[in-house]
Chains A and B, each alone.
Chain A
Amino acid sequence: MYVAVKGGEEAIENSQRLLEQKRRGDTAVDELSIEQIKEQMSLAVDRVMTEGSLYNRDLAALAIKQAQGDLVEAIFLLRAYRTTLPRLGVSEPINTNSMCIQRRISSTFKDIPGGQVLGATYDYTHRLLDFSLMAEGDEPVSTDELKQMESAADTPRMPRVVDLLNAEGLIETESDGAGTGNIPDLTREPLTLPADRQLRLQALARADEGFLLALGYSTQRGYGNNHPFAGEIRHGTLNIEITPPELGFPIVIGEIEITECEMINQFTGSKKKPPQFTRGYGIAFGHSERKAMSMALIDRALRCAEFGETVVSPAQDQEFVLSHTDNVEASGFVQHLKLPHYVDFQSELELVRRLRKERGDNKQSGIDEKCA
């Protein structure tokens, strides 16, 4: 238990001043600009927006700068800021089919309508440190080096890969879900269990990437395995539309980058359902494939009840998963241990001393000996 303490104002003020100096580092080195972070650390910005659950590149970059690059701290800053913003409405549901594709791959079918597009990826890099990046003032990579295609003004239409399986009825279909009914919102009501899939997906979308990655990995290693294939991973941009009541028709307010992953999972069938492939869904702001893939694995694992699978592993246990996915909560609770627990600890100390005395242990505790 934490008991409030008083005092220490001056030391705290000094500590914060010191923090500002630490953040700035050596003043002989140029200060980082928000634009530099946005342009050159874009994947960090993406992660902060996804887990901070607020799409705004400027604010995420500012949070990264302020947190000295500590992404979980930056996520906390962004979450805190979003609570100060009034909710002005909801978007029309995004249509990821209309995505302006920057990357799109499938590991289930070689030839897919629209083709496999690698885009910019680290997948085929050798993971060797590139010391040329250390050299300052080198020429930027010329865009002319990229082979200029004739009239590639528009990306080809890229239908969903899972729809190819739909044609044969070999994969479960997503029902459109009648209307907007009651869409649960974690930011408005606390999490209640059992949570339906819509609520789970909201929680997973803002969940800690590391936690999801580890859990997703655990399913692959046998803790709730569901034989996944990356049916499709796509990354690109799409418009966000709202329908303001004063206008009565949908309008575009901006564009976001998004990553989507559809996992295809083997399912041998149950009493109620025939053998077929099942789906797991992952989605993240920006370019975050690791996050989207991990989320898709966990989405499928948490659907175990739908398919009559027994809960045997952590990744299938929604109380375990959903209660521990949020890194703002987790980090807060772990780190609160740093706050003074003097009174609490004193009482524990008294208790241990008394118990030892009752046991007839005459020797004083080590702490007292050392202190003496």
Chain B
Amino acid sequence: MNSAEQMKTMDIERRRRWIGLLAKATLQELEQGWSQIESKPEYTFIRVPETGQIMIRARTGGVGPQFNLGEMTMSRCAVRLANGYIGFGYTAKHQKRHAELAAVFDAMMQDPVYRSMIETTVIEPVADREQHKRSVSATKIASTNVDFFTLVRGDD
């Protein structure tokens, strides 16, 4: 892999991370982040916010051939900022507004002018909350780790 490709892979990884966090954010978190921006960018819809569903695929025995497990709601949106950056928003929530804000933030994250601001006001708080949720849950779960003893029957 040459360095240009490496850069590209790194960029994709970073974008994957923020798109995922924007999807998992609460609408309240997104609205709060939006309200904190003083000079809000103008944007137009490339794809108006819409709600629908996706089919979740699983594998037989967890590892075998794929099958259709069941559906999940999804909302999505695509926007273009006045300065040309294009953003895509996705979330499993049944919320058009969530998809719209996620798309706008995705576009703003690609814009060096806004990036660090959006990172600190929106992306990292969501990442921290998710991490906190995971570690609290892991701590509680770990306390239920169990060692069963097998009793030998007929032992003198």
Contacts and interface: CB of A to CB of B under 8 A. Distances in A.
Interface of A: 49-50, 53-56, 58-59, 82, 85-94, 96-97, 100-103, 110, 115-120, 143, 146-149, 152-155, 160, 162, 174-177, 180, 183-187, 197-199, 201-202, 205-206, 239-240, 242, 244, 246-247, 249-256, 260, 262, 279, 281, 283, 285
B140 interface: yes
Given A251-B19, A252-B23, A177 B65 contact: yes
B150 interface: yes
B55 A87 contact: yes
B54 A115 contact: no
Interface string B54-74: 111111111111111111111
Contact of B78 (A58, A143, A246, A279): A246
A187 B72 CA distance: 13
Contact of A118 (B51, B58, B92, B144): B144
Given A56-B73, A183-B68, A255-B92, 7 more contacts: A90-B56, A96-B62, A100-B134, A155-B142, A177-B60, A240-B72, A254-B23
A253 B68 contact: no
A166 to B, nearest CB: 10
Nearest to A246: B88
17 contacts: A53-B70, A53-B71, A85-B51, A87-B55, A87-B71, A91-B55, A91-B57, A93-B57, A94-B57, A94-B59, A97-B63, A149-B143, A174-B62, A183-B65, A249-B16, A253-B92, A283-B69
Contact of A279 (B61, B67, B138): B61
A149 B55 contact: no
B94 A59 contact: yes
A155 B135 CA distance: 9
Given A91-B54, A116-B145, A198-B65, A251 B92 contact: no
A246 B23 CA distance: 17
Given A146-B140, A149-B139, A152-B139, A262 B94 contact: no
